[in-house]
Amino acid sequence: MKLKTKIEQYIYWLIFTLLNLLSLFFKLKNLDFVEYKYDQRFAYSVVDNCKNGEIFNYIQNSAGVPTGPLIYLYECIGGLFRVSSYQLLLIFEIMISHLLLMFLFFHLQKFLKPYNNLLLFLTICLNPFLIIMTRNPGITAHFELFTVLFLYLYLNRDRRDRNYFYIGFISSISFAAYIPIFVINYSILLTLLLFKKVKNLKLLIFGSLTGFVISILSFVPYYRNNTLEFPRSRAGSWGLSSYWRILSDVLSGKSIKAKINSPEDYLILNEYFSQFNFFVNLNFVLISLILIYSFVYFFKKIYAKQIDDFDILYFGSFIVCGIIFTLLDVPLYAHYLLSVSVLIFIYLFKTIKKTSVLIVLFNIFLLSSVYINYSFHEYIYHNNGAQNSDYGTSFNVCGCCVEDARVCRGQ
């Protein structure tokens, strides 16, 4: 379906512009009140390190092993461009991330109907949890780079043989950035193989091996000065359904509640904004219903033998990826699944055919997302963070006056 009249086109692009402005308003609002704990402080230290030529920077993850240096790609680029403050670093990263989402919107115009694409853009750009995460440094929060590159190459892999090399390379080089993205990408590539949709396996393998070797070599500077360590013992998975439970929370924005997870803080938030909990739950119910519908839609296409690239993308990111994470038996956190949430959003809204349903969903998600984002930011602003919760004390207090940012944790 195309936009039929010029008036319809003007309204469509006006709404698109307003969505961009709204998204950037919430992402850039009150940057003095962002989270600021040890991880954020370390990320900002990378800026100075890269200014001084130290481009390999490592932080230990929860398993006690280093995360690859590409997790601080943006920070290092910021250092090379002489970024001079933490707020400027965040603005730099937020703008890059938002431009990548705009690129995704324009690229998907070739594959999605206009109203489906606009609803998709709304749910990604105004998702409360994604906005809060975007106001943090690192590839963990700014997942858009690897997601957009992977999706572009995935949808265009058969146009040129060399795209198979590139998609293998991008997928494996993500090992040096963020392992959850590595797992997500290879879950989808494995699904392509299962459905026999890979035309040049040799180039895919070659690209994967090239990227993986570079990823392994990126850890050499760390292990030249540190002993080789294996992951320490850790807690297991949070249940067989944990992947899908956490993913549903991310898609609906309900994961924002994890940032204010103290009952005391959450009670105060709801006293300030009495409809906060209602809109969070409304989004969750709607997303759950759309997920059920998409699941039925997918199996109808399986039965009719009409599988396309988007069906494979959905099956790989929703089913195969979930099975692999479950088999890995690791605790899952919402920020592990930022990249996969975008891929699943695409399928969820592509399956909706009725324009009237799209318009109703658009208006509900717009109203609820604006209310949730506004409420959350106002609460953080008036309370200098969420003192007893995961969000902790905000940057305006911790960024200026605290020696050890770890004391800024709320719990």
3-state secondary structure of 386: strand
The per-residue pLDDT for range 51-89, each reduced to its tens digit, is 888 888 888 776 557 888 999 999 999 988 888 899 999
Contact 284, 249 (CB under 8 A): yes
Q: Is the pLDDT of residue 410 over 70?
A: no
Beta bridge partners of 35: 394
Q: Is residue 176 part of a domain?
A: yes
Comparing 80 with 192, which gets the higher pLDDT?
192
* Res. 177 pLDDT band, cuts 50 70 90: very high
- Residue 411 in domain: no
Domain annotation covers residue 397: yes
Spatial separation of the C-alpha atoms in residues 309 and 257, rounded to whole Å: 34
Q: Which domain holds residue 152?
A: 33-404
| Residue position matching structure tokens 């902790």 | 392
Q: Looking at residue 235, what is its pLDDT?
A: 57
The predicted model scores a pTM of 0.93
Q: Centre a 10 Å sphere on the Cβ of residue 323 and count the other Cβ atoms it contains.
A: 13
* DSSP track, 103-127: HHHHHHTTTS-HHHHHHHHHHHHS-
Q: Which structure tokens are listed for 103?
A: 């690129």
Cα end-to-end span (Å), the chain: 50
Q: Is residue 8 domain-resident?
A: no
Residue 27 forms part of a structural domain: no
Compute CA 32 distance to the chain's CA centroid, rounded to the nearest angstrom: 22
Kindly indicate the confidence band of residue 33, based on its pLDDT and cuts at 50, 70 and 90: very high
Which of 72, 349, 51 minimizes the C-alpha distance to 218? 72
Judge whether 390 lies within some domain: yes
Please state, in angstroms and rounded to a whole number, the distance separating the CA atoms of residues 20 and 15.
9
Q: Would residue 110 count as lying in a domain?
A: yes
Q: φ, ψ for residue 386 (rounded to 5)?
A: -125, 95
187 within domain boundaries: yes
Number of domains present in the structure of the chain:
1
Taking only the tens place, the pLDDT of each residue in 82-139 is 888 999 999 999 999 999 999 999 999 999 999 999 999 999 999 999 999 999 999 8
